[in-house]
Structure 1
Amino acid sequence: MKNKYYPKIIEDYIKNIWNLYNKNNINKNKNNNNYYSILLPPPNMTGNIHIGHILQYFIVDFYIRFNKMLGKKTLSILGIDHAGISTQILIEKKILNENKDINLLIKNTLNFKKNIKFKLINDLNNIGVLIDNKNKIRFTLDKHYQYSVNKIFSTLYYDGLIYKNNKIINWDIKLKTVIPDLEIINKKKIDYIWYIKYYFVNSEIKDKFIVISTTKPETIFADSAIAINKNDIRYNKYIGEKVLVPIINRIITIIHSDEVIINHESGCIKVSPSNSFNDYKIALKNNLKIIKIFDNNFIIKDFFEIYDLNNNLIYTEECPNIFKKLDIISLKKNILNFLINNNYIFNKKYKIINVKYNSRNMSKIEPYITNQWYIKTNNISKIAINLVKNKRILFFPKKYEKIYFNWLNKIEDWCISRQIWWGHKIPIWYNKNIIYSGINEKDIRKKFNIPKNTKLIQEKSVLDTWFSSSIWSFVSLGWPNNINKLIKYYPHNLVISGFDIIFFWISRMIMISSYIFRKNSYLNLPFKNIYITGLITDKNGNKISKTKNNIINYLDILNTNIKNKEYLGIDSLRISLLSLNSTCKYINFNEKLILTYNKFCNKIWNVLYFIISKIDFNIIKYSFYLKKIVLSKKKIYINNINLYNNWIIDKLNTILSIYNNLTKNYRLDILIKYIYNFIYIDISRYYIEFIKNKIKIKNKIINNYILFYLLDTIIKILHPIVPFITEKINIDILLKLKINNINNNLLINNKFPNIIFDIKKDCNNIINILLYIIKEIGKLNRNIIVYIKKKKIFYNIIKININKIICNKIDIKFLLLEKIEKDFIINY
């Protein structure tokens, strides 16, 4: 028996074995047509994988190992996302390239990607994730992926699903690009809300002016109306009246809108459609003019541009000279000075407001109207909704369906263009007013018969990273050029994701793939099951992320045994994370839990090597009898099995019977609780104590096989959970059996165990009664000794009338116990 569990030694040894024997052999000897594949979001190329990624990789590896042991050909789709904006920010910081030599930046970015890819492979090997070297780690900006992206874009464009239009979006002032909602954070800030007088054009009106409230006086030049609520008795008499915009004296109309809250501040707002999402909605409903006052640097224009809702320029207005060339911050200051000095301010008061920032670079975000590319989502979102409603795609946990439906039921057209240099360039080429789309310029010239001397100019913008991510499910399998894997593994059995990207990734994959494969009723969904994991938070409850600078590095955890400063082991981390992943949205990661599961791994180690020490491998050695008893798929009833073996096999059968159900429902946390109790209580506390005391064995051969069956089954059911320990024990068993073909007998190449023993349920009552007695006695202090057939088992308790305890607690006497089974007598 091994005296000590040393996880680092075990891991190094097993990693060498896996690398040596299992390279390119993930699906070796799998000749059936039973396929299983898993999809997960590829991590961004902007940094190392963190504890949140590792949780998902452990789940993937659990299901790959488990299904491989079920005899299936398995595939996990591993890759790296080019992470457009995040990567651009990172590279620009590293290189500090003020002139932005795009070619130099792209070259350095691709070199950076190579290092990240190597690091990812190394990390995955380090944490024991199976990697099929024949299945390359994909990159969402490689040549094949670019071809696929361009092909899909072109298809959607000519099918009328992609269009270009002027709409209001979130604009990063520093990067000068559209920013998606997911990458925006709100920060609270104390500011003033300003009450500003707008004078009526009609001098006969008694009140002379109406007071609006705003936190953004800097957008006053973009005002195209004043809005009130029609039910507000203070103001509804003024609906239709004209007022003058301060400073520039533009005449605008007072309108009514349900967007205005009667008792909120003054109950009267200015409507600046080009600089407010809410105001833009009001403009669309009331056919208001759109007045653009800022350029894309958010410096005020010399001439304001007034457009209708169809983006037709109607006329321009000159900006007052004193405000020209000002940026938005200086503009606010100067406008307020003018308003204050000219008695336009009615009141002001402090207010806590939310200010939007890009989470990647903390640049301020402003609403801005600009010409961007969009995907129409109305029809494809309905298809995506129905695939889940009709249970062709299932959510686990089911509660996340509501988030999915809520988002898709209120979905707007998807802005897919970004004004950055890193990403998929939009495959659009212009010839004056003519627009072409295709794989590349050569393809377009050939397809549309465009002569070489006709100049084509490609669109400068790149695609939203989520666009390329939305086709990950099938492009990662080789579509469109190579569909061998697609035929076998598509749709995927499972996709794993956090709840925060259900809309941004999951729903878009379903929408795009269901449209691309709409003519094939089997392939028109990307996956069958969606497993939503909790998001790991730090001790303060904050989501683990690079932007929050609270990344938990798995190596730091494993090398930090709080008491002894020992290496805790990948298996300890793995089982800790799997045990935490329940149906909760957030997982509060406590590093002390790894210490608990490190002790559990140590217990597994000691228990299984103790069982090994009790087995006579000269009897085993893979004889015909072993194959008949242990490896048979048929259930076997053994008359000569003793009581404690009968009882432990019943416990093991319970684990086997719930294993499939819990894995199908993705409740690994519950499965681990069952296994934890089985190892700690059933095996260690009771069964080991039985066999320690060398109770007389009637049939040594059968008991050897039972012990071996128990050992063999336990390492197999534990293998997807703690692969390093179990593989090491498995190899030691093979060596004891003098089996040299390690590769074919690695645990992933073994069949997952079935229930093969029928047990005597009535016999278990005897053990259960005995254990109940022991538990009741164990509640007392420890001075009296309990014996079975005069062999000491494990409890010392105080001297007391045990008969009385037994009679009161379980209504049974020793005499009755003796009648049930003569072998069991308690003396004290």
Structure 2
Amino acid sequence: MAQTTPAGDLAPAYQPQEVESHWYDWWESKGYFTPTIDPQRKPFVIIMPPPNVTGELHMGHALFVAVEDLLIRWRRMQGYPTLWLPGADHAGIAGQWVVERELLKEGLTRHDLGREKFLERVWDWMNRYRGRIREQLRILGASCDWTRFRFTMDPGPSRAVRTAFKRLYDKGLIYRGERLINWCPRCMTALSDLEVEHEETDGQLYYLRYPLEDGSGALVVATTRPETMLGDTGVAVHPDDPRYHDVIGKTAVLPILGRRLRIVADAAVDPEFGTGAVKVTPAHDFTDFEIGQRHGLPAVNILNEDGTLNAEAGPFAGLTIAEARQHVVARLEQEGALVKVEPHRYSLGHCQRCGAVVEPLISKQWFVKMAPLAGPAIEVAKNGTVRFIPERFVNVYLHWLENVRDWCISRQLWWGHRIPVWYCSDCGQVSVTDQETLERCQHCGSTQIEQDPDVLDTWFSSGLWPFSTLGWPDDTEDLRYFYPSSVMETGYDILFFWVARMIFLGLEFMGTPPFHTVYLHGTVRDERGERMSKTKGNVIDPTEITAQYGSDALRFTLLTMAGPGSDMKLSVQRVEASRNFGNKIWNATRFVLRALNNAPLEVDADGNPTPPAHEAASLADRWMLSRLQRTIETITDQLERYQFHEAGHHLHEFIWSEFCDWYIEASKVALNQGGASAQAARQTLAVVLERTLRLLHPFMPFLTEELWQRLPHAGESIMVAPWPTPDAQWIDDEAEGEFGFLIDVIRAIRNARAEAGVEPARWIQAMIYPGSHGHAFKTAEPVLRFLARLADDGIQYLDALPENPEHVITLVVDDAVVYLPLRGMVDLAAERARLDREIAEVQAEIERARQLLANDQFVQRAPAHVVERQRAKLADAEERLALLLSQRAALQEK
């Protein structure tokens, strides 16, 4: 079937802002983002990691959009019903914190408003910013199903949270207890271990003297936090430490407060730390809490929730921790109990959200028993049911789950999913429900009930995300068809926060893991490898980048920068290079459209351009079509293996070098010849570009749609065009070998011309001994002449190698030899003079270096690296002299 292709009306240069401005709305209007449920076909599903509704998207969001959209667009083109379900997270602590900061500008606190009015302000803020998040995702080209958008506080997910809580509670997996937890005195809430960021800190180690009660001596203990000694209830030593065998079981006396401290032996003590004897503060240190539990030591809490000291701190009550440290140290010094202070570097925990120093604190909280849930989650990782990419992270995941503590899920906040527990003031019983409200006590029927004021950890609702978004706990059509999902793509930094919790909760409530593959991307850093932060001023805003260079350029850059699990260094220059790559494709398409203009083109029954007939295809055509098939195979394989960066680099090389720099240039010869050769070139250009745009579409969706629409094609959008499959009849080893050989010959000639200083526009002569490549030279001679700038009558084929060719540059490629006569290429007399000048300069440089290295004083007194540098310069100069002398000898007058 023949089709006439009109002239393209592409602008002279690629303008990403104009190209990207209209396609998204058109795609959405066509319904391409919403899958059709087809029981006969297995879907491909990604549940989007929901961005926090607390501000603008950052580069981490841009990265996950690029990766997930690549997967979704690729699988959609492969014919899968694809669901990419978008959402947003209420961001418990961060959500409340950002609104409280807004209130402070008005001179208000949440307590001034009360819980109900404060939550109205939070909802207002969330509703305003939720739209902004969605708009930014659209700008990045995220082809997700907006008809299924979910917010963690929507009625459906909220009901799922209550149901999950009740079911876990009924099984005895949720309990309330008084335990040591991480406490943020600024956010005024409990934190899980994962919400505490540990930073190495330069501090001091204080050595304190604790006298023995029997007057037989004293123990010296070391601590980084002397103020916590006010909560000490014991002293511990290692049971195998011979220094302390005689004091185990005795009693020490706490300075200042005079509290009696039992001396115990515990294997948790590090004999190498400090003096090997440690103070035990069960209410304010996790290791100490466990030591206290093992030995029956009481826990004395000295802290208020705002971080000030309470009455248990005696004379220091009401002071902040920093103030208390100063006063306690001064008092210890006054009493002679401070032995010494020395510099010490140690790890200090900070709140992930606000940065405040986290305080371990005894508190009554709600916990999830982790051991019964961790077991099945460990098993699916070990048996390969859930696969991790990169594989090394499976060990990190297993280590955490095998050593996991019970999960503190209550938070002392107002914003979030309120704990579905009611306390009865009449009978004292607890009622747990999956309903939003409860009118009466489930035990005695009293109406004197009050709901627990706390909310749940944000990660509790996020852990249910793969199935709560699909309608669970109801048995919905979406849940039956789309669960489990296919891939969970997220950052390695939330492997524990989120991935592990989704897996064990999915196993608990659905009986199967929520996904079969976990793909973990790295962190986007600045060009020096530092984390981006507003404080450092090194943040690269994706909104600003896309406005300047386009979303496609940013996406392609992020996708090709690093492999899975690896951090990446991002610079604006790299994004600009990707924009330039887009411009290269744009100009290649302009060339192809001009070549196809008004010429009849063979297309198949669907409208796709077809390759030329084999007998009409030139060596260059066959090479290009074979390279296309290999590229389709390679890209598909790399995507299957989640090697997106390799696939992107391979596509870049194929498009920029093989198609644009070699085939398009070679096709100009055939197009100028006209006739069957020109028609074969046009067919090849159309086929290769159309298929290549399809390969590139998941990486650069906007640009590829714009260009694909100008070419002969089947279907109404590249988004739903079939993913290319290799055509075995066009895989041609011979053509790849022979044309690849000619490329090497042309490169060698071009390099020789450049080194000899031949003007680019100058046509030169060549004598060629073809070796075993005679057919390639003969069939592709016009291409060779055009691309190597060899004159029309300038090629002389040799039947044998000459013995002593004079005044030529000799190039050996495989078993072929190319001689480029210098006469006609350069002015021989001028070239000899130039080489003589260079030789003299290098000889003088060599002489200076030799004299310097012959000077014993220089060699013995100069720094070693200076002497070594002179030796290296001498070696380089001698090597350069040998090359120059060889070139001069080739020009020797006979």
Partner of residue 745, structure 2 = 773
Partner of residue 142, structure 1 = 154
Q: Is 1:440 equivalent to 2:435 in the alignment?
A: yes
Instruction: Indicate conservation of the 8 Å contact 2:32/2:720, yes or no.
Output: no
Larger Cα-atom Rg = 2
Q: Is 1:123 equivalent to 2:157 in the alignment?
A: no
Partner of residue 755, structure 1 = 726
Counterpart of 2:633 in structure 1: which amino acid?
A: S
1:67-92 superposed Cα distances (whole Å, 9 cap, x missing partner)? 11111211112111111111111100
Counterpart of 1:132 in structure 2: which amino acid?
A: D
Q: In the TM superposition, what is the alpha-carbon distance from 1:479 to its structure 2 partner?
A: 1.5
Q: In the TM superposition, what is the alpha-carbon distance from 1:61 to its structure 2 partner?
A: 1.2
DSSP-derived class of the 1:412 partner: coil
Distance 1:650 1:171 in 2: 64
1:718 to 678, 687, 696: 696
Residue pairs, 1:264-413, within 5 angstroms: 264-302=273-311, 304=312, 320=314, 322-413=315-406
1:634-676 superposed Cα distances (whole Å, 9 cap, x missing partner)? xx98344322111101110011112222111111110111111
DSSP-derived class of the 1:355 partner: strand
Distance 1:655 1:771 in 2: 18
Partner of residue 540, structure 2 = 552
Shift in alpha-carbon separation, 1:373–1:770, aligned structure 2, 3 A: same
Partner of residue 705, structure 2 = 727
DSSP-derived class of the 1:60 partner: helix
Instruction: Indicate conservation of the 8 Å contact 1:429/1:441, yes or no.
Output: no
Distance 2:527 2:735 in 1: 49
Distance 2:796 2:675 in 1: 32
Distance 1:29 1:376 in 2: 38
Partner of residue 94, structure 1 = 102
Q: Is 1:614 equivalent to 2:595 in the alignment?
A: yes
Distance 1:147 1:547 in 2: 39
1:322-359 superposed Cα distances (whole Å, 9 cap, x missing partner)? 33444433333333333222222222333334433323
Distance 1:112 1:159 in 2: 37
Q: Which shifted more, 322-331 or 800-809?
A: 800-809
Partner of residue 217, structure 1 = 226
Distance 1:449 1:231 in 2: 54
DSSP-derived class of the 1:382 partner: helix
1:499 to 492, 498, 509: 492
DSSP-derived class of the 1:421 partner: coil
Shift in alpha-carbon separation, 1:391–1:356, aligned structure 2, 3 A: closer
Distance 1:70 1:30 in 2: 15
Q: In the TM superposition, what is the alpha-carbon distance from 1:584 to its structure 2 partner?
A: 4.7
Of Structure 1 and Structure 2, the greater helix share is in 2
Instruction: Indicate conservation of the 8 Å contact 2:86/2:145, yes or no.
Output: no
Q: Is 1:809 equivalent to 2:813 in the alignment?
A: yes
Instruction: Indicate conservation of the 8 Å contact 2:812/2:818, yes or no.
Output: no
Counterpart of 1:710 in structure 2: which amino acid?
A: V
Partner of residue 872, structure 2 = none
Distance 1:17 1:355 in 2: 52
Distance 1:103 1:437 in 2: 22
1:487-525 superposed Cα distances (whole Å, 9 cap, x missing partner)? 12111111111111111100010001101122xxxxx11
Distance 2:423 2:156 in 1: 24
Identity %: 26
Counterpart of 2:433 in structure 1: which amino acid?
A: G
Distance 1:536 1:628 in 2: 40
Q: In the TM superposition, what is the alpha-carbon distance from 1:295 to its structure 2 partner?
A: 3.0
Q: In the TM superposition, what is the alpha-carbon distance from 1:15 to its structure 2 partner?
A: 3.7
Q: Is 1:202 equivalent to 2:190 in the alignment?
A: no
TM-score w.r.t. length of structure 2: 0.81
Q: Is 1:227 equivalent to 2:231 in the alignment?
A: no
1:185-227 superposed Cα distances (whole Å, 9 cap, x missing partner)? 3455554432222222223x2xx22222223222223222111
Distance 1:148 1:625 in 2: 47
Instruction: Indicate conservation of the 8 Å contact 2:439/2:447, yes or no.
Output: no
Q: In the TM superposition, what is the alpha-carbon distance from 1:719 to its structure 2 partner?
A: 1.0
Q: Which shifted more, 508-517 or 358-367?
A: 358-367
Shift in alpha-carbon separation, 1:800–1:264, aligned structure 2, 3 A: farther
Instruction: Indicate conservation of the 8 Å contact 2:440/2:447, yes or no.
Output: no
Partner of residue 309, structure 1 = none
Distance 1:757 1:626 in 2: 21
RMSD over aligned Cα, in angstroms?
2.9
Structure 1: stretches of 5+ with no match in the other structure: 305-318, 519-523, 560-566, 631-635, 816-828
2:251 to 208, 222, 242: 242
Shift in alpha-carbon separation, 1:69–1:198, aligned structure 2, 3 A: same
Q: In the TM superposition, what is the alpha-carbon distance from 1:704 to its structure 2 partner?
A: 4.2
Partner of residue 530, structure 1 = 518
Shift in alpha-carbon separation, 1:659–1:241, aligned structure 2, 3 A: same
Partner of residue 563, structure 1 = none
Shift in alpha-carbon separation, 1:192–1:771, aligned structure 2, 3 A: closer
Instruction: Indicate conservation of the 8 Å contact 2:635/2:651, yes or no.
Output: no
Instruction: Indicate conservation of the 8 Å contact 2:390/2:565, yes or no.
Output: no
Distance 1:692 1:417 in 2: 71
TM-score w.r.t. length of structure 1: 0.87
Q: How many residue pairs are counted as aligned between the two chains?
A: 768
Q: In the TM superposition, what is the alpha-carbon distance from 1:382 to its structure 2 partner?
A: 1.5
2:66 to 58, 70, 76: 58
1:740-773 superposed Cα distances (whole Å, 9 cap, x missing partner)? xxxx511112111212351343233331221221
Instruction: Indicate conservation of the 8 Å contact 1:437/1:444, yes or no.
Output: no
Instruction: Indicate conservation of the 8 Å contact 2:44/2:485, yes or no.
Output: yes
Distance 1:369 1:477 in 2: 38
Distance 1:298 1:91 in 2: 22
Partner of residue 72, structure 1 = 80
Q: In the TM superposition, what is the alpha-carbon distance from 1:279 to its structure 2 partner?
A: 1.1
Shift in alpha-carbon separation, 1:67–1:764, aligned structure 2, 3 A: same
Structure 2: stretches of 5+ with no match in the other structure: 1-7, 767-779, 802-808, 820-894
DSSP-derived class of the 1:238 partner: coil
Q: Is 1:41 equivalent to 2:49 in the alignment?
A: yes
